[in-house]
Amino acid sequence: MSGFARDPKYYGDRLVYEPLESKWSRYHATHCGCGQDWLTAHVIPAGFTVIPRGKSGYYGLVGPGLTEGVDEQALTANALWEAVTGKPGTQPWHETVHVTCRSPEAEAARKAENERVYGPRRERAAKAKTEPATDKQLAYLAKLAETAGKERFDAEFFKATKGTDIKPRAPRERMTTASKRLTKAAARKLIGALAALEAS
């Protein structure tokens, strides 16, 4: 989500505005429509500076009217709106600043919370790469394979098993037999691809 932030690790002591790329590119396409990149065509020429947030691909913006020469108790994105769309900003509400604490204690707490939330998901995903496909998956695959045909099945089977030890379907091997060699994760990928084809 777009918003004002202070993060000493990435931005030093500077106040930045972290834009949500999809939101601002949509604003630009809707209200300007020049077909150019909104950052290089409008934001940088307007005097704003892009500060990368490490190597994550995210970034912060600093510049006049947005983070410089402004009252931090009355922050809006109006200056950026005007630069991107060419129209005066009319944001009536004020935004707060999200401050990220990077102390060792705060980082440890963040890592612990991340592990609590995402640890079980990562564990399930790892198991799915080795556990065999379920009977329910195989039954659904049998129906999808019948509709898709051998050629399409083989193409999607190859994609779903790429990077694994699962061999492609042999010329005389039945599709249902080949499916039995799939892991849960590979079966999920194959089901998703074949189901999308069936829906199209």
Return the number of other C-beta atoms located less than 10 Å from residue 41's C-beta.
16
Taking only the tens place, the pLDDT of each residue in 35-79 is 899 999 999 999 999 999 888 888 999 999 999 999 999 999 999
Six-digit token string for 75: 């922050």
Residue whose structure tokens are 């940088």: 44
> What is the model's pLDDT at position 36?
92
> What is the model's pLDDT at position 198?
77
d(CA 32, CA 44): 16
pLDDT (average), residues 135-146: 94
> What is the model's pLDDT at position 101?
74
Taking only the tens place, the pLDDT of each residue in 87-122 is 999 999 999 999 887 777 877 887 888 899 899 999
> What is the model's pLDDT at position 104?
77
Residue whose structure tokens are 């061999």: 167
pLDDT (average), residues 123-130: 92
Q: Which residues pair with 4 in a beta bridge?
A: 17, 97
> What is the model's pLDDT at position 91?
93
Taking only the tens place, the pLDDT of each residue in 163-195 is 999 999 999 999 999 999 999 999 999 999 999
Q: If 0-12 CB within 10 Å is exposed, 13-18 middle and 19+ buried, where does residue 99 land? A: exposed
Six-digit token string for 111: 């890592």
Taking only the tens place, the pLDDT of each residue in 6-38 is 998 899 889 999 999 999 999 999 998 898 999
